Amino acid sequence: DTEVTQTPKHLVMGMTNKKSLKCEQHMGHRAMYWYKQKAKKPPELMFVYSYEKLSINESVPSRFSPECPNSSLLNLHLHALQPEDSALYLCASSQAVLGMGQETQYFGPGTRLLVL
Amino acid sequence: GQNIDQPTEMTATEGAIVQINCTYQTSGFNGLFWYQQHAGEAPTFLSYNVLDGLEEKGRFSSFLSRSKGYSYLLLKELQMKDSASYLCAVSGALRSNDYKLSFGAGTTVTVRA
């Protein structure tokens, strides 16, 4: 089973709203990721969690706030977003091991976010 | 830094073969990945190479030359459903706890009847 689930599938929010994106995996992976993807562009890494601790923040604005409540769940809290934040937000997970392909990332279906 | 290059677009006919090239310059190298992404969907893992040579998986094969910083993905017997974006990604970590993948911009393959 290589399934990563994400909710919601679609989200429309105003610039003053607060919302959260959720991601879940049950593969026993200890590394989890948030990506942002614009149309016709590759995924752009935002955050990496390793063993439930934030290990990489790619200089993401503070209006995006990640949270890893346990080894299976990853949240992305959104507040005061801008229209240019509209994108597909992808969650991924992998083993927290380098080498021999163990760091292969498996992606969830994504949340399509529209900020008005 | 990481630099990964692949062509922007390729078009081929159903039943034909297409080869998508990827060149990379990365600070470290732990392996190269190919992902397929259909429009509006998530990337799905296709292949992984860490040693030089060809890895075959059904209609898809991936090749790696580490000395040349070069890989290709070969799609044989093309089907309409193969129309998608193909992403080359490199694990270039220098630290043991850095699992980042660096992605190329993706190659959009269009299969025509």
Give pLDDT tens digits for B86-107: 999 998 776 666 778 899 999 9
Res B1 pLDDT > 70? no
Contact with chain A for residue B96, Cβ under 8 A: yes
H and E: helices and strands count for chain A: 0, 11
Q: Which comes out higher in pLDDT, residue A1 or A45?
A: A45
Residue A1's pLDDT is what?
63
B42 contact residues in A (CB cutoff 8 A): 90, 107-110
Q: What phi and psi, each to the nearest 5 degrees, are found at residue A22?
A: -125, 150
Question: Looking at residues A18-40, what average pLDDT do you find?
Answer: 95
Q: Which residue of B has its CA nearest to A4?
A: B42
Distances (CA, A) of B45 to A18, A47, A69: 33, 20, 27
Question: Looking at residues A52-60, what average pLDDT do you find?
Answer: 93
Residue B96's pLDDT is what?
64
H or E segment and range at residue A112? strand A111-115
Mean pLDDT of chain B: 93
Res A69 pLDDT > 70? yes
Percentage of chain B modeled with pLDDT above 70? 96
Mean pLDDT of chain A: 94
Instruction: In whole angstroms, give the CA distance from residue B90 to residue B28.
Output: 9
Give contacts of A 97-116 with B, CB under 8 A. Answer: 98-101, 103-110, 112
Question: Is the distance from CB of B62 to CB of B49 less than 8 angstroms?
Answer: yes
Res A9 pLDDT > 80? yes
| B101/A31 touch (CB, cutoff 8 Å), yes or no | no
B46 contact residues in A (CB cutoff 8 A): none
A96 contact residues in B (CB cutoff 8 A): 97, 99
Res A5 pLDDT > 90? yes
Residue B63's pLDDT is what?
98
User: Between B40, B85, B97, which is nearest A55 by CB?
Assistant: B97
Residue B52's pLDDT is what?
97
Contact with chain A for residue B69, Cβ under 8 A: no
